[in-house]
Amino acid sequence: MSETLSIIVIETDRDRTRVIVDSLRDAGFSDIQVIPEIAGLARRISESNPDLVLVDMASPSRDMLEEMALASGPLERPVAMFVDRSDGSLTKAAIEAGISAYVVDGLKPSRIGSILDAAVTRFHMMHRMRVELETTRRALEERKLIDRAKGLIMKARGVDEDAAYALLRKTAMDQGRRVADVAQALVTAAGLLT
């Protein structure tokens, strides 16, 4: 395993970046550069001329890398996506983890395996954490919204909390909408009227 392999990681999230870079360092790679912004991506990559580029599949900047792949001669010198095309399982694992790697210059695919192994595991973990966080955050926001809507109904109708919630739920069911959406509509309408 060569430590001189140069790797660029494109990632805007600072926490994710740290985890990925750490895992690559642990795997024995030291020449790692992080590009946090999409602006000027192609220029910065071509200036650095790395052996490998790792990019989050959820990033729209992936399409910019396709352009670079094209520019470097798509047939003679394939700028391979992920790893060896014959290694379907690793490619699949990488895609499922939401990571894609571009080999920028004739790098032997066998040398990428360990990089991806390390990165894929981390990406999986980070992705799961991100989904959990997002779900929790949304649930909290919706809870707050529903509480405000309940408060409005209690005040306007002089009913207790349970009755207010029952009314919200019934309205949502009748209209085929989510309780949170009905609550949002009510809070917005109330805001307009006061």
Partner 1 sequence: MSGAPVSAGFIPLVDAAPLIVAREIGFAEEEGIDLTLRAAPSWSTLRDRLMLGQIEAAHMLFPMPVAAALGLGGIGARLDILMVLSLNGNSIGVSRRMAARMRAAGYEFDFADARRAGEALIAATEGRLRVGVPFPYSMHAELLYHWLGSLGLRAPQDLDVHTVPPPLMAEAMAEDQIDAFCVGAPWGSIAVETGVGELLLPGSAIRARAPDKVLAVRHDWAEAEPVLTRRLMRALWQAGRWLSRPENRTTAVELLAQRAYLDLSAEMIERALSGNVVISPRGELRRVNDYMTFHGGAAGYPWTSQAALVASRLAGRLGLDRASSIAAAGAICRTDLYRANLADLGADLPAETARIEGANTVPQTVAGLNGEVILPPDAFFDGWIFDPEA
* Interacting residues with partner 1 (CB under 8 A): 38-40, 42, 57-67, 69-70, 74-75, 81-82, 85, 91-92, 95-96, 100
Shortest Cβ distance from residue 73 to partner 1 (Å)? 9
Residue number, 152 or 184, with CB nearest to partner 1: 184
Residue number, 21 or 69, with CB nearest to partner 1: 69
Q: Taking Cα atoms as reference points, which of 58, 60, 80 lies closest to residue 69? A: 80
Residue number, 102 or 165, with CB nearest to partner 1: 102
Residue number, 27 or 57, with CB nearest to partner 1: 57
For residues 157-181, b (16+ Cβ closer than 10 Å) or e, as one string? eeeeeeebbebbeebbeeeeeebbe
Residue number, 23 or 91, with CB nearest to partner 1: 91
Residue number, 85 or 144, with CB nearest to partner 1: 85
Shortest Cβ distance from residue 10 to partner 1 (Å)? 12
Shortest Cβ distance from residue 47 to partner 1 (Å)? 16
Shortest Cβ distance from residue 18 to partner 1 (Å)? 22
Shortest Cβ distance from residue 69 to partner 1 (Å)? 7
Rounded to 10 deg, the angle between the 161-175 and 179-193 helix axes is 110
Shortest Cβ distance from residue 61 to partner 1 (Å)? 7
